[in-house]
Structure 1
Amino acid sequence: MLPVPFLGSLSPSPALTGRLLMAGGTLLLGQWVCADVLHLPGGGLGLLAAGAGVWWLSRPAAQASFKAPTTLPAWVSQCRQVLDQFDQLETQLGVEALRAPREQQLEAVLNHSGPLALAVVASEGVELPPSAWFETALLGASSLSLSMAKPLSTAAESWGLPEVLKQQDALLFLLPLPLRASDFLRLDDIPVDQPAWLLVQGGLLDQQPGDGVDVGRRALMAQLPERWHDRLLLWDGSSQGLRPLLQPIHRLLRQPQRSLDNTRQRLLASLHRSWQGELEQLRRERFRALLQRSQWLVAGAVVASPLPSTDLVVVAVGNGLMLREMAQIWNCPWRAEVLQVAARHLGGAALAQGVVEWSGQALLGLAKLDGGSWLAAGALQALSAAYLTRVVGASMADWMAMNAGVAEPDLERLKQQAPLLVAKAAERERLDWSGFLQQARDWAQSGPSLRPG
């Protein structure tokens, strides 16, 4: 990517000088090839227009920063915005509106109140101590709702953590030894921001390979993710040993209102993620109609363009108009510069991966088989531009879906992700190549007025 030199420096760097000489030489060579070899009218102007398109794709990325909601009122506002998005898309698509049950889900989270709820849980085959032991150990703390959860099944189809446990204010997980696959998966499924601790009987560590509890503890910690290292509680198995061990839970109970607010905020974030999944299906339906319209608008503009080499600029402008509507569908209130930077990254990745060349070769091969009955030579560039729009639009939709709602769009990360996003989108669109060709036939037959002459 061509760097922008510092304005205070009048002496260009050697690397910049070399790139400028290379660019100048390429323009002069291109002018000679277009004008004297290929005898294309306006070759120089067309080459400059193409150079402008390349410059547009390679400008430095603008930085953008967004902050996810960090307070309870902000999360409530964010969820209500998603409800409005549902209303808008469901109305446009003519499907049944489901705002009432979603409002009930939101109110259920907001009505979450004390006392604080602590669940003690273990996997199948692990015996839970009597609940009275925990009640005695936590005596004197703020009011607490203690529940001894049913043993979690070790069957492969139910290795996730039940939703009812994710709604608890805190978790105490009795860990069996040796660890099983289901235990690792459930530990990964516990929300990172949910207060949770692991309780392990020290006597079980003596039974593990090694020389005593300390060696067994180090071996266990080597198996556990780092987030659990300071939340591992070694228990001697007696009722008296529980009270000093559960001091972290005591500290949590001393601030009940803060803990309840944190739980509401965590549950709102989870509800928002769930709604985003439902909303994404509606967005994709709306997006496909927009993409189909945009790709043929770009194709028509390319056909009507007097200079073939301006196609890159036309595609960039056409995609820019499409991205604005996509931002509305995905409820992304980002600046136009952010959308342009994202389009440049994805468009550049698509060109680097040869999307245009692949589609052009495929269309040429089809033209040979079809005898040129519908694929006119002048429409070849237009169809390649339409396919480029299709791939860039699909990859942009994937990126917007990843950054919709409260997620913070990271343009530097997009620069790294762009090749993979484009590759996946291109692969999906290739699977629907026959559908694209059928749409191309319909466009070619219904759009002769767009062609010059």
Structure 2
Amino acid sequence: MLDSWHDSIVQVSEFGLLSALAIGGGLWLFQKNRPQARVEQFDIKLVERADVENAIAQAEVVINQLVQESENHPAIGYLREQVNQLLLDLDRQEIKLAVTGGKSVGKTTLIEVLKSNWQATIKQKFSFYETAPLFIKASDNSETDVVTEVETSDFVLFLTNGDLTDSEFQTLQQLKAANQPVMLVFNKQDQYLPDERASILLSLQQRTQGNLVATAVSPLAIKVRKHESDGSVQEWLEQPAADIQQLTQQLSKIVTQQAQKLVWATTWRKAKLLKAEAKNWVNGVRRDRATPTIEQYQWIAAAAAFANPVPALDVLATAAINAQMVMDLGNIYQQKFSLEQAQTVAGTMGSLMLKLGLVELSTKAVSTVLKSNAVTFVAGGVVQGVSAAYLTRVAGLSLVEYFQQQEIALDSGNNLNLEKLRQTLQNVFQQNQQMAFLQGFVKQGVKRLLPEVAVEKAVG
């Protein structure tokens, strides 16, 4: 056998031998540097109990703000129940393990194997949850819904059958951004040749920074051939045992070292989500109060510009943004402004609208709509009046959008973020540029500025 092996080696060129040695060395290094079972490698924030209690308290602040601004709001009871549940979750002993991934990656089989071969060997209580398959494009929201569900679990096993696709990588990044502990499981590794398997493992390790294990939860059957003494041959298929040793070792160490902190991290995430949900309700109440305020000031601006039409765009922009509207909207959103500060904000917004070209664009858009009716178009000041109303509306909605991004009950009226305000102005302007909206808005403006024309047109 040695002679045969020696003859084979002689036939290998020097380059081929060096290549073989390099591949062998790489495989040895990969095995040597295989990620160890240290939970610190998961690159997440494992919070303490005090952090969770503080997050719950912050959610309660927002809920109390909702009670203050809308005492009988229908969501208050539900939000209070969620706070109570979070307080109970602080001492929860059961670990919730989610198994997710694309279609046919082995999620169901993995859960069955873990339940039968591993769960009984540890003292920690576990509940397993299998998500719906990702990346099947059943609907636009299906994948988002699954990821949202996963984020309420204490730990996630993310299964893949090969190197990561872009969709898989983006989902992993999303879970990481949500501070969700995730382990990538390369399943069905037995279906690859050894060199292919090593290449995929190395790629996965580099992209996940070591949060990786390889398994074969349902290995391919192996053909067994037995030669009898009489010369006959018998063949049959044998099913190898599941290869999950690396996974169970990692899970066992994680549970032993960090079970309670995993529960706290989940509760902390839920508290953050509850705070955001409560803030959305508060913003909804405030927006209902802000809308009539914006409409009041937009028609005031329209009447003023109609009565005293001016061709200068800068004057039009300044007239469209009333400092008193800034103060009134600030009061609704708990952003206190003095008159001087409100005037500064109004001037700043007018300047931004000019620099962004919004005043000129809105005037042209209003003119285009009005040209369809010669009677209203030739009436002096109508273009300026409707344009002023439109710009006032854009400015008001931009302030509302900007204020909604601020912390609840935060007095930051004198700390205006101009870059964020500029982006908000652009976004709101684009959202209100649809022709159907403009036609309806112009028609409404004409009715207010020229009621006799509107009546004549209706009679005609």
The two structures have a TM-score, normalised by structure 2, of 0.62
1:215 maps to amino acid:
S
In the alignment, what sits opposite 2:401? 398
With over 3 angstroms needed to count, the CA separation of the structure-2 counterparts of 1:217 and 1:373, relative to structure 1, is closer
Whether contact under 8 Å (1:302, 1:381) holds in the other structure is yes
In the alignment, what sits opposite 1:207? 192
CA drift of 1:389 comes to 1.2
Question: How large is the RMSD of aligned CA atoms in angstroms?
Answer: 4.3
1:444 aligns with 2:444: no
Query: Within 1, Cα distance between the matches of 2:294 and 2:79?
Result: 29
Query: Within 1, Cα distance between the matches of 2:96 and 2:74?
Result: 36
1:148 aligns with 2:131: no
1:217 aligns with 2:194: no
Query: Within 1, Cα distance between the matches of 2:115 and 2:203?
Result: 30
1:168 aligns with 2:162: no
Equivalent residues, number: 359
1:187 aligns with 2:172: yes
1:266 aligned residue (266, 269, 275): 269
CA drift of 1:164 comes to 5.0
Whether contact under 8 Å (1:346, 1:396) holds in the other structure is no
Quick check: 356-365 or 403-412, which moved more?
403-412
CA drift of 1:433 comes to 1.4
In the alignment, what sits opposite 1:354? 357
Q: Output one character per residue of 1:327-374: Cα deviation in whole Å (capped at 9) or x when no partner.
A: 344455689999777766654343234333344345555666545469
In the alignment, what sits opposite 1:114? 92
1:197 aligned residue (183, 187, 195): 183
In the alignment, what sits opposite 1:233? 213
Pairs within 5 Å for 1:44-443: 71-87=51-67, 90=70, 97-112=74-89, 113-123=91-101, 124-125=103-104, 126=106, 127-128=109-110, 129-135=113-119, 139=122, 144-150=124-130, 152-153=132-133, 155-157=136-138, 158-159=142-143, 160-161=145-146, 165-177=150-162, 183=168, 187=172, 190=175, 192-201=178-187, 203-204=189-190, 207=192, 211-221=195-205, 228-235=208-215, 238=243, 240-242=245-247, 244-246=249-251, 247-253=253-259, 256=260, 258-302=261-305, 310-316=315-321, 318=322, 320-332=323-335, 346-364=349-367, 370-372=373-375, 376-403=379-406, 405=408, 411=417, 413-414=419-420, 417-418=423-424, 420-428=426-434, 430-443=435-448
Quick check: 297-306 or 352-361, which moved more?
297-306
1:218 maps to amino acid:
L
Identity of aligned residues (%): 20
CA drift of 1:115 comes to 0.7
Q: Output one character per residue of 1:182-215: Cα deviation in whole Å (capped at 9) or x when no partner.
A: 75575355362122222335835x717x835442
Q: Output one character per residue of 1:292-340: Cα deviation in whole Å (capped at 9) or x when no partner.
A: 1111222344456698765444334x0x332333334445568999977
With over 3 angstroms needed to count, the CA separation of the structure-2 counterparts of 1:442 and 1:315, relative to structure 1, is same
Query: Within 2, Cα distance between the matches of 1:276 and 1:151?
Result: 28
Q: Output one character per residue of 1:20-72: Cα deviation in whole Å (capped at 9) or x when no partner.
A: xxxxxxxxxxxxxxxxxxxxxxxxxxxxxxxxxxxxxxxxxxxxxxxxxx944
Highest RCO, 1 vs 2 (Cα 8 Å, sep ≥ 6): 1
The two structures have a TM-score, normalised by structure 1, of 0.63
Whether contact under 8 Å (1:342, 1:414) holds in the other structure is no
Look up the SS of the partner of 2:153 in the other structure. coil
CA drift of 1:436 comes to 1.7
